[in-house]
Structure 1
Amino acid sequence: MVYFILICVLVCIIGSIRAISKTKAKMMQSGNEMINEFINKNNISMTKAINIPGYNGSGKFIIDDVNKFVHYFVYTKGNSNLFHKQFSYKDILKCELIKDGRIALVKDVFSIIDMANKKEYIKKFGIRITFNDLDFPYLDVYFIKSSVGVTLTGLGDKVSLTNEWLSSMNIIIDRGKAMA
């Protein structure tokens, strides 16, 4: 009898997990479809697309190197709404590293990989991109946002993703300066 109850509970838990994952997959697919439809309608050349953490694939940062624009997309499931913001390369002012609420210019940080080898505890780790737009002055992208401190050791994927974002944004900032 006890085994029967445990099996029923286990089946219910597995069913719940499957339902949640199907819901997330549908949301991600809907968001990607809306973003792709917008890209096709507006003739955006997608040179590089980077998923924004925390949006389950429904937030994207798209670099259009042909037209020299960066596009920011976020799909919200509740009202099936797509938020889009477009920035010219020259409107991207700087990219900064966020570490526990403190912001430092990337030039001042010698190497994220060296930081990863340290055993210090970090609660918030990400980047801030500053734009020349009063309505949308900056975008914070967190790769780690925890209530307890974690070390970057063993989080190679987060460190490499941060490096990818930083190198992409620094290239765009340099190209934007050349345009001005």
Structure 2
Amino acid sequence: MSEQALSTFDRAREALDKKTRYVQDFPEKGVLFEDLTPVLGDAESFAAVVDAMAEAAEKLNAEIIGGLDARGFFLGSAVAYKLGLGVLAIRKKGKLPPPVVTQEYELEYGTAALELPSEGIDIAGKNIVLIDDVLATGGTLGAARKLIESCDGHVSGYVLAIEVPGLGGRDNLGDRPVIVVRDPQ
């Protein structure tokens, strides 16, 4: 990695370390929630994280940025703008008007689904980099990949701000590159 790449990622890691808020026992007892809201709300921190994520997405040959509902929208939109690319909003079920393409997936407590419009955006054959704030189990990102592939798009990799250790998220994402700005601690 070049010196510029290291300094970009170092600035982003420093911003994440300084501004991330930790909330014990949320959303349930025993879970330490890493809240990136303060990172997003601080212009310098937000810019540092977006710069690092954009650099990573560029290395993955992004043609379109896929932002996952909801915090992935903030990061994905900023990355797409920085790279001069379009952004694909990957929505939770029921948020888009029909017709849509739907992909269901399993959660620890049930099922959920993601959707894309089936008209108006042609992703066939395009390299799409998926952007989100946190890699946990990888279930949502895996479902997003299946959804995009069902529309003949190609997920060329994943870019995340942080990763929760011990949940096996990377193992559930298959053979595509995973770049995390701040590796698990």
TM-score, normalisation: structure 2: 0.26
Select the structure with the greater relative contact order (CA < 8 A; seq sep ≥ 6): 2
TM-score, normalisation: structure 1: 0.26
**Largest Rg, 1 or 2:** 1
